[in-house]
Chain A
């Protein structure tokens, strides 16, 4: 990572988020402090209920914090959304069955008012980025689950946001497809220099992808450990057998266990 380019892209200070439910208030996030720099690949890992998805949604202004401050590119999350600061990838591809892959990818462009030519050019470019060139005229049902998820990543990339937020994007896919997509996401990150926030509950996935691993624990949702990965930017799949990789994975596992022990 080139430190001279590093600038805080996402900054959370004492962030609190309380949901009011029928059973009383639930503290989804408590005292979350985190700085994400430009070009970071940050994974959020933890058991369900630890607030990892809630934090990602707060960055995207899909949830609103009840205390503390959260800035995205120096703006509030709402302003950042207006400024098209991020693309969001959900667990399901959520492609519209009545639109071709190309038309699905141009959906955000259409909403944001890009010209027809601009839309076509951008769709072509991001299809190339996710290695789906030539599939633009297919319908979603003609593609495998992995390809559909790649198309949904292309959709999030289409409008050139410099932040990519991914909420367990490969959680519903099998291990083999997942490995392949992990490699591709890394390649994508290397080529585009985006800042990526990635929610997962797979330790190998988090260690393999990230420059920074945020370990979280539930009740109340909070950060228990932040690990800066010493792994190089270029990561072949074999790196997962290296000693460094196993050491980081061990530390993540320890962090997860520590978070659980104080229940």
Chain B
């Protein structure tokens, strides 16, 4: 209860501010309508009613977003092209595939950096450079290039996703694989352990806490990548497609519902990884 109360308070304040902003921002349309019809400007209580449930509000009210979320998740079969569950799943599948690809790439590059001097000196600058490119600029090109060689659908989105998620994993794993101290490494040298054995028996297990920290950043980045990847694909399916079609047709309620769905998916994925992290570190005796 002690922890829930502050959270609830903040949520209530946000909701109140949101309603206030909705009244303010949506009132312009109400005044505009009144001026055109030649009727007198509505009073405050009337204004409240007229700004709460507009079809295309500048800022949809919280209950409109919740209603839209409910309608498009619970109110429709998941196979429907309007179901957010359907679109959400399209995005999640690209996110997860990209996340796995990105994590694998990050770990492989990190291992390469640890064992190969040339890679140690050359990979990191390129990795950093790759992250300075705006993803919005490079995503359409990845889609177009892959499309021209016949790769469409899930894979291009997953690649954009992996492009964003490999980086935190790479940085975290390099640090994690280097975390065993000199004494630990000397001990394995006295056994004449090979590089592979050192990696498997000491470096990889030692890097697990670092890996999980990176995975939490990585999965959120993967989701962003997948949504961005859906925007230039001609907007057929996915949360990104919902955002795009919402903005084409001025369906602000739909945009906000898709945004909230994306946030919920992100929170769910990060929480899931946090849970796996807790269980794993506890079992490994590494819990801090």
Complex Cα gap A114–B205 (Å):
22
Within 8 A of B (CB), among A163-193: none
Central interface residue in B188, B190, B192, B284, by most chain A CB within 10 Å: B190
Tell me whether A111 and B190 are in contact (CB under 8 A).
no
Complex Cα gap A90–B188 (Å):
12
Tell me which of B31-39, B75-83, B179-187 binds A.
Answer: B179-187
Given contacts A88-B187, A96-B202, A111-B201, contact A139 B285 (CB under 8 A): yes
Q: Taking the complex as formed, is A128 at the interface, i.e. its CB lies under 8 A from any CB of chain B? A: no
| Chain B residues in 8 Å Cβ range of A60 | 190
Q: Smallest CB–CB gap between B138 and chain A, Å? A: 40
| Chain A residues in 8 Å Cβ range of B188 | 111
Complex Cα gap A92–B182 (Å):
12
Q: Smallest CB–CB gap between A12 and chain B, Å? A: 19
Tell me whether A81 and B192 are in contact (CB under 8 A).
yes
Within 8 A of A (CB), among B249-264: none
The interface on chain A, measured as residues whose beta carbon lies within 8 A of the other chain's beta carbons, has a size of 23
Tell me whether A96 and B190 are in contact (CB under 8 A).
no
Q: Taking the complex as formed, is B189 at the interface, i.e. its CB lies under 8 A from any CB of chain A? A: yes
Residues of A participating in the B interface, judged by any CB pair closer than 8 Å: 60, 62, 81-82, 84, 86-88, 90-92, 94, 96-98, 107-108, 110-112, 139-141
| Chain A residues in 8 Å Cβ range of B201 | 96, 107, 110-111
| Chain B residues in 8 Å Cβ range of A81 | 190, 192
| Chain A residues in 8 Å Cβ range of B197 | 111
Given contacts A88-B186, A96-B202, A98-B284, 14 further A-B contacts (CB under 8 A): A62-B186, A62-B189, A62-B190, A88-B187, A90-B187, A96-B205, A97-B286, A98-B205, A98-B283, A110-B201, A111-B192, A111-B197, A112-B191, A141-B285
B194-211 interface code vs A (CB 8 A; 1 in, 0 out) = 000100011001000000
Q: Taking the complex as formed, is B193 at the interface, i.e. its CB lies under 8 A from any CB of chain A? A: yes
Complex Cα gap A250–B238 (Å):
83
Chain A residue with Cβ nearest B280: A98
Q: Smallest CB–CB gap between B22 and chain A, Å? A: 53
Tell me whether A108 and B191 are in contact (CB under 8 A).
yes
Complex Cα gap A25–B191 (Å):
30
Complex Cα gap A91–B184 (Å):
11
Q: Smallest CB–CB gap between B233 and chain A, Å? A: 43
The 10 closest A-B pairs by CB, nearest first: A97-B285, A98-B284, A88-B190, A108-B191, A111-B191, A111-B193, A90-B183, A98-B205, A139-B285, A111-B197
